[in-house]
């Protein structure tokens, strides 16, 4: 069989349909590779040994002349997305023994395509983090340098794809949790338009920001994956009919760059970004400086709204209804004991922040004001997209940093500076590998982030493929 590092979703699908090998043989090869290599990077919390049954179903579909681009493809699933009868813990002790009672909508879509679920991937607890160091099951390590983080919160999904332990993976993105780890691990990650992919069956962190999306080795694979999971879900009130918003045929694509926003960026990251823009210009794109005056306030707005929504969503984990329960002498003690033992430090920190900004006397001063600025940022992006077809920034201000290197939470939050505006506005964005930098004998990937207006994923795939060709 061809080596895993030589396989992509598109190529593997073609080989499976040509009967070069079976889906069962493919799944067995990936299970063996995971057994040998996962301990080194800790990408998977659980591997589904019985995925061979999925593979056999895929082989039958292919034999009957059915199947599509994802039939028989081994996929990793972030441990915040429900798969019926499987454990789903959000990498938290609070839900360590919880088993899903239904399939998430995206899982139903993938089952219909006869994809193979190879395992559930590690993540920052309840998706709160930018490094995947906050998991109750230990940190994930970057396959390019195991002394460094893979990014977060979908670090396990990105690391699994980068280490060739899956051909694609599902992640979720609340403020950059698909794109930032994709950048750190040298793979492609897409945060779709809010509502283009159903959130039903995703353990919620911040409901107005969360979005499920794909991670894969290249743009073609991400497009295949995205087209398989996008659809309007009648059981998700935020789900929308997809209406493609592409650049008119024959018109030169304009890439807008908010240069005033590119401050405090690692010098090598900025140099690679400018080099990528120069090459895109040489390949037919128009590069244009644009202004988004309040984009610099995005991080502040995000870290008011996100903890507020998270504190409300996590209030359900009380030790009474389901999940961990650490009994006390009375109901208040049970609440206190359960949350103290079940939630990690970062989750506790964000619950406290969120509860504070929603409390009497501070709601108007913080939460309402942040919502007002969010509206202002949205209107400024709409105006910016009247000037440009795509908006571009680096995905992250630095390459992957060392595990344990950043101890100050505020410094860690700065890793999201270029990604959070996308979630506030609800637009799609993609991170595509754009080169590497050297750090202490390691070659570390960098990501180029492209943003598009609502339902502009086709624009992202176009520019993403261009970045792949020129890097």
DSSP letters spanning 218-249: SHHHHHHHHHHH----TT-TT-------PPPT
User: 148-166 burial, b if ≥16 CB within 10 A, otherwise e?
Assistant: bbbbbbbbbbbbbbbbbbb
Q: Which of 190, 167, 213 is nearest to 73 (CA)?
A: 167
Say what the pLDDT of residue 263 is: 86
pLDDT in tens, 361-402: 899 999 999 999 999 999 999 999 999 999 999 999 999 999
Marked catalytic residue, from 10, 78, 191, 217: 78
Q: Which residue of the set 22, 92, 172, 177 is catalytic?
A: 177
Q: Helix 298-313 vs helix 369-387: angle between axes, to the nearest 10 degrees?
A: 130
Q: How far apart are CA 147 and CA 158, in angstroms?
A: 16
CB atoms inside a 10 Å sphere around CB 35: 11
Using CA atoms, how far apart are residues 170 and 133, in angstroms rounded to an integer? 19
Nearest to 121 by CA among 161, 149, 148, 93: 161
Q: Tell me which of 329 and 21 has the higher pLDDT.
A: 21
Q: Which of 89, 153, 198, 298 is catalytic?
A: 153
Average pLDDT over every residue of 454-464: 98
78 is annotated as an active-site residue: yes
The count of other CB atoms within 10 Å of the CB of residue 379 is: 12
CB 215 within 8 A of CB 157: yes
126 within domain boundaries = yes
pLDDT bin (cut points 50, 70, 90) of residue 318 is confident
DSSP for 329-386 reads: SSHHHHHHHHHHHHS-HHHHHHHHHHHHHTSTTTIIIIIIHHHHHHHHHHHHHHHHHH
In the numeric block, the tokens 């995206």 are attached to 106
How many domains does the structure of the chain reveal? 1
Question: What does DSSP assign to residue 128?
Answer: -
Q: What is the pLDDT of residue 1?
A: 64
- CB 293 within 8 Å of CB 380: yes
Report yes or no on whether pTM surpasses 0.95. Answer: yes
320 pLDDT higher than 90: no
Quick: pLDDT tens for 282-313: 999 999 999 999 999 999 999 999 999 999 99
Q: What is the DSSP letter of 417?
A: T
Question: Domain span at residue 216?
Answer: 4-229
pLDDT of 264 reads 86
Q: Which DSSP state fits 18?
A: T
H or E stretch including 387? helix 369-387
Q: Which of 78-92, 165-179, 314-328, 415-429 has the lowest mean pLDDT?
A: 314-328
b/e code 435-461 from CB counts within 10 Å (16+ = b): bbbebeebebbbbbbbbbbbbbbebbb
Which residues is 148 bridged to in the sheet? 402
- Assigned domain for 471 exists: no
- 465 domain-assigned: no
Give the three-state DSSP class for 451. Answer: strand
Secondary structure of 130-148 in HEC code, one letter for each residue = CCCCCCCCCCCCECCECCE
Is residue 79 one of the residues assigned to a domain?
A: yes
| pLDDT at residue 29, as a whole number | 97
The Cα–Cα gap between 449 and 392 comes to 6
Mean pLDDT of the chain: 96
Q: Supply the pLDDT for residue 181.
A: 98
Residue 6: band (very low, low, confident or very high) from pLDDT cuts 50, 70, 90: very high
177 among known catalytic residues? yes
According to the model, what pLDDT value does residue 79 have? 98
Q: What proportion of the chain, given as a percentage, has pLDDT over 70?
A: 100
Residue 285 lies in a domain: no
Assess whether 10 carries a catalytic annotation: no
Q: pLDDT band at 249, cuts 50/70/90? A: confident
Whether residue 68 is contained in a domain is answered as: yes
CATH at residue 86: 3.90.1300.10
Q: 29 is written with which tokens?
A: 């090869």
First CA to last CA distance, the chain: 29
Reported as a single tens digit per residue, the pLDDT across 210-226 is 999 999 999 999 999 99
Q: Is residue 219 part of a domain?
A: yes
Q: Does residue 115 lie within any of the structural domains?
A: yes
| pLDDT given at position 223 | 98
């Amino acid at each position: 069989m061809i080596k895993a590092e030589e396989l992509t979703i598109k190529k593997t699908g073609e080989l499976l349909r040509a009967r070069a090998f079976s889906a069962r043989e493919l799944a067995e090869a990936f299970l063996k590779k995971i057994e040998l290599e996962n301990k080194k990077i800790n990408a998977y919390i659980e591997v589904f040994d019985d995925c061979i049954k999925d593979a056999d179903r895929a082989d039958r579909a292919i034999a009957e002349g059915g199947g599509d681009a994802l039939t028989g493809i081994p996929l990793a699933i972030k441990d915040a997305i429900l798969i019926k009868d499987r454990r789903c813990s959000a990498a938290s002790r609070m839900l360590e023994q919880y088993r899903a009672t239904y399939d998430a909508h995206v899982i139903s879509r993938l089952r219909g395509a006869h994809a193979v679920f190879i395992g559930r991937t590690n993540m920052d607890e309840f998706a709160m983090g930018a490094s995947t160091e906050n998991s109750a099951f230990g940190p994930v390590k970057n396959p390019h340098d195991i002394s460094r983080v893979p990014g977060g919160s979908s670090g396990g999904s990105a690391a699994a794809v980068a280490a060739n332990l899956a051909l694609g993976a599902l992640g979720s993105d609340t403020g950059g949790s698909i794109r930032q780890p994709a950048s750190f691990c040298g793979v492609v990650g897409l945060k779709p338009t809010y509502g283009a992919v159903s959130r039903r069956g995703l353990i919620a962190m911040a409901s107005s920001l969360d979005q499920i999306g794909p991670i894969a080795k290249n743009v073609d694979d991400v497009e295949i994956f995205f087209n398989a999971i996008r659809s309007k879900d009648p059981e998700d009130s935020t789900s929308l009919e997809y209406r493609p918003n592409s650049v008119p045929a024959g018109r030169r694509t304009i890439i807008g760059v908010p240069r005033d926003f590119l401050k405090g960026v690692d010098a090598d990251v900025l140099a690679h970004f400018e080099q990528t823009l120069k090459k895109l210009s040489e390949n037919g794109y128009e590069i244009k400086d644009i202004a988004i005056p309040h984009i610099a306030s995005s991080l502040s707005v995000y870290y008011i709204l996100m903890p507020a929504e998270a504190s409300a969503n996590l209030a359900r984990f009380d030790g009474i209804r389901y999940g961990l329960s650490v009994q006390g002498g009375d109901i208040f003690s049970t609440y206190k004991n359960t949350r103290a033992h079940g939630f990690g430090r970062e989750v506790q920190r964000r619950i406290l922040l969120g509860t504070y900004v929603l409390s009497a006397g501070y709601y108007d001063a913080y939460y309402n004001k942040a919502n007002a600025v969010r509206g202002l940022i949205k209107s400024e992006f709409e105006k910016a997209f009247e000037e440009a077809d795509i908006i571009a920034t680096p995905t992250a201000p630095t390459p992957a940093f060392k595990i344990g290197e950043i101890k100050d939470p505020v410094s860690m939050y700065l890793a999201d500076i270029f990604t959070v505006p996308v979630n506030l506005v609800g637009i799609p964005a993609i991170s595509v590998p754009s080169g590497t930098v050297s750090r202490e004998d390691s070659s570390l990937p960098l990501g180029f982030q492209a943003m598009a207006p609502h339902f502009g994923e086709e624009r992202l795939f176009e520019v993403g493929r261009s970045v792949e060709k020129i890097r």
